[in-house]
Amino acid sequence: MPLSARELLARIIRCEAEGEGDNGMKAVATVVMNRVHVPYGEYQRVCRGDLRCVIMQPDQFTCVKEVVAGQYNPQNIYNMTPLQVHYDIADWALSGNKSLAVDNCLWYYNPFIPNCASYFPRNQSGVYYNRVVQHCFYTPTVAAELKWHKADGIA
C-alpha cells in the first residue's frame, strides 16, 4: 500500500533533519512545502502542487535514494519510521505554517563543514539565504526567477 503524502512528509523530515531539533525540521518541511506551492518554475511544471511528486522527484532528496554513490543508503525514507514529533511537524507544515528562517527557499543541503556555498544547486539558480543548524538554505536568484517566468509565459 502506498504511503500517504503526510506519511512521506513526516519520513522526509525525519530522514533529512531528525537531529536538528524542531527549528531544523521545520526549516526542511518549509522548503518541501515551498516547492509544492511555488507558482512557477520546475516544481510547478513537473509536480503541479503534488506533494508526493515533489518528494519523489528524482535526484532531489538523498533520503529518497536507496543507493548513494554506489553504496546502500540505510538512512532512507523507506527505513525511517516517523515518530510523533515528525508527524506533528508535517501537520504544522501541511496546515500552511512556514519557518521564517528560510522564508521562500527552495533548496537546502548539509555541507558537513562550517561554511555554506554562495550558490546552490550546481546550476547556481539559488543564492545563500540562511543557515539553520547544520543545513544551508537557498532562495532563487533573480536571474533564475526571470528565466522560469519566461519559460512559463509569465514574463
User: Cα 66–60–9 angle (5° rounding)?
Assistant: 80
Per-residue pLDDT band at 1 (split at 50, 70, 90):
low
Count the residues in the chain.
155
Per-residue pLDDT band at 75 (split at 50, 70, 90):
very high
DSSP, collapsed to helix, strand or coil, labels residue 78 as coil
User: If you search the block for the grid coordinates 515528525, which residue do you land on?
Assistant: 86
d(CA 99, CA 38) in angstroms, rounded, equals 16
Q: Is the pLDDT of residue 154 over 70?
A: no
d(CA 41, CA 60) in angstroms, rounded, equals 15
C-alpha grid cell, residue 44: 510547478
Q: Is the pLDDT of residue 148 over 80?
A: no
pLDDT in tens, 82-137: 999 999 999 999 999 999 999 999 999 999 999 999 999 988 999 999 999 999 99
DSSP, collapsed to helix, strand or coil, labels residue 71 as strand
